[in-house]
Chains A and B, each alone.
Chain A
Amino acid sequence: AQSVTQPDIHITVSEGASLELRCNYSYGATPYLFWYVQSPGQGLQLLLKYFSGDTLVQGIKGFEAEFKRSQSSFNLRKPSVHWSDAAEYFCAVGDMEYGNKLVFGAGTILRVKS
């Protein structure tokens, strides 16, 4: 079955520092991968997605992610974190064998210290 692992439950970074959130997936075919962000009390906002092509994808708010098939990873990065980036981040894989559902990781809570 498809699965997504986000190894870090919490991450704390200083404002202005770089950020990398890890995501590993398990999927038999070509994966369709997503990163969503959830601010407290809010819904899920799409940051970026990978379907095919260039393995480095750019998203909103200065985020990028790199798809590495050999490592089954899709890590999210940002060169300089802002206090407003504090939120919970979810990696997801599209399960195309059954409708079009998303399988989510457990999420990583990002704290930004000033």
Chain B
Amino acid sequence: DSGVTQTPKHLITATGQRVTLRCSPRSGDLSVYWYQQSLDQGLQFLIQYYNGEERAKGNILERFSAQQFPDLHSELNLSSLELGDSALYFCASSVTSGGVVYTDTQYFGPGTRLTVL
């Protein structure tokens, strides 16, 4: 158990709908990352938040957005869903203390499996 929790575990929805995935980082971790794992794209970085602010953005679609709240949990919002959005969405967290971040280790949650029908 990494200490990172994600809900829900599974989500089945229809095209055009909107869903919210939730992530709670490990206690004390300030950074949250979202990754998408799909058969055709593999594991892709979506976005990183640090202490409530966006730190880095990957190939995240405009239909997707995220935020990190004052209690450090994060939500990934996916809207106007398409069949191709079906994937496993992982959240990870790391300490990212105020100094050097290069030695950060990311700990992953169990993932949310999204199925768009």
Contacts and interface: CB of A to CB of B under 8 A. Distances in A.
Interface of A: 32, 34, 36, 42-46, 49, 51, 90, 92, 94, 96, 98-107
Q: Which secondary structure characterizes the binding site on chain A?
A: strand
Chain B contact-residue range equals: 20 to 34
Interface stretch (B13-21, B62-70, B74-82, B99-107): B99-107
Contacts of B90: 43-44
Interface in B45-66: 45, 48, 55-56, 58
Interface in B1-33: 2, 4, 31, 33
Nearest to A92: B43
Given A43-B108, A101-B33, 10 more contacts: A32-B103, A36-B108, A46-B107, A96-B101, A100-B31, A100-B94, A100-B101, A102-B92, A106-B42, A107-B42
Contacts of A46: 105-108
Contact of B102 (A100, A104, A107): A100
Given A32-B102, A102-B106, A43 B2 contact: yes
A99 B48 contact: yes
A101 B103 CA distance: 12
Contacts of B55: 99-100
